[in-house]
């Protein structure tokens, strides 16, 4: 009888999918479910990176660690769902989705990188995952609603990106390098544009409530930022930590209501 393989011999992304994340929702093999999984993965990966940088920038607070433990099962569930075969996609598109999920799994399995490396690697993965949500939006039965969910994914990720950049900047120089400040400023503009687009949509009552929550949190978040997109002072970083998460959570709930 052959011996049981040692878990440590498995590739890192296999460890992520089989060990770190074990809670799976009852998703079906539909285009709408694929888009929802891609949205949750895109938001979840960006949030985990933001929380890791938050943990380092605010070492006296335990919030980031606790929130990371809550986020990881959702990210793992989305990864497992997206790695299933999708007959609706051609071979090239399927390979691109798998490559993006591989890179996402590798990133969240190893967040212990230098701040600069973690920031750069997460930016590359974010681009890949943005492609995935756009691609899978084409599988959903309602193209107009799918485009709206894709916009929600982009908006939530952009808000988290502003937070991520603020925590990276806080560790690098106390005020942030010029390139980080430029990226933060651009992300603020992009998020405000996305929020305005969402505000013009005709939504149901529950969906409107989640959008209004995100809008309210953005007002609080924006008050903590300077025109550069970085915080006015380091003591405003805890506000960045909570408001970005609340924005992303509200937009994620809204995406679920639309799929």
**13 against 115, higher pLDDT:** 115
Checking 209-213 for CB contacts under 8 A at 24+ apart, the result is 210/250, 210/251, 210/253, 210/254, 210/257, 211/250, 211/251, 211/254, 213/246, 213/250
- pLDDT-derived band of residue 171, with 50, 70 and 90 as boundaries? confident
Is the pLDDT reported for residue 25 higher than 50? Answer: no
Mean pLDDT of 128-133: 94
pLDDT the model gives residue 9 = 34
> Tens digit of pLDDT for each residue in 214-258?
999 999 999 999 999 999 999 999 999 999 999 999 999 999 988
End-to-end CA, the chain: 48
pLDDT the model gives residue 89 = 86
3-state secondary structure of 22: coil
Decide if 13 contacts 98 (C-beta within 8 A). Answer: no
- pLDDT-derived band of residue 10, with 50, 70 and 90 as boundaries? very low
Query: What's the distance, CA 253 to chain centroid?
Result: 13
Structure tokens at 202: 């005709």
Is the pLDDT reported for residue 140 higher than 90? Answer: no
- pLDDT-derived band of residue 62, with 50, 70 and 90 as boundaries? very high
* Residue 231 β-bridge partners: 225
């Amino acid at each position: 009888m052959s011996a049981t393989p040692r878990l440590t011999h498995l590739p890192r992304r296999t460890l992520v999918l089989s060990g770190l994340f074990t809670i799976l929702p009852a998703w079906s093999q539909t285009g709408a479910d694929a888009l929802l999984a891609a949205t949750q993965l895109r938001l979840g990966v960006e949030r985990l990176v933001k929380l890791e940088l938050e943990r380092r920038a605010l070492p006296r607070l335990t919030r980031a660690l606790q929130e990371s433990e809550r986020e990881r099962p959702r990210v793992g569930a989305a990864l497992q769902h997206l790695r299933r075969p999708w007959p609706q996609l051609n071979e090239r598109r399927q390979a691109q989705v798998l490559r993006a999920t591989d890179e996402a799994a590798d990133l969240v399995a190893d967040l212990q990188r230098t701040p600069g490396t973690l920031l750069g690697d997460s930016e590359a993965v974010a681009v890949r995952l943005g492609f995935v949500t756009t691609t899978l939006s084409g599988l959903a039965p309602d193209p107009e609603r799918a485009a709206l969910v894709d916009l929600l994914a982009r908006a939530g990720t952009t808000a988290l990106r502003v937070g991520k950049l603020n925590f990276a900047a806080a560790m690098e120089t106390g005020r942030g390098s010029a390139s980080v400040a430029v990226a933060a400023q651009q992300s603020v503009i992009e998020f405000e544009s996305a929020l305005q687009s969402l505000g013009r949509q005709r939504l149901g009552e529950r969906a409107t409530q989640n959008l209004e929550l995100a809008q309210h949190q953005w007002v609080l978040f924006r008050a903590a930022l300077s025109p550069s997109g970085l915080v006015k002072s380091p003591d405003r970083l805890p506000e960045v930590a909570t408001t970005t998460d609340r924005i992303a959570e509200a937009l994620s709930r809204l995406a679920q209501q639309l799929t």
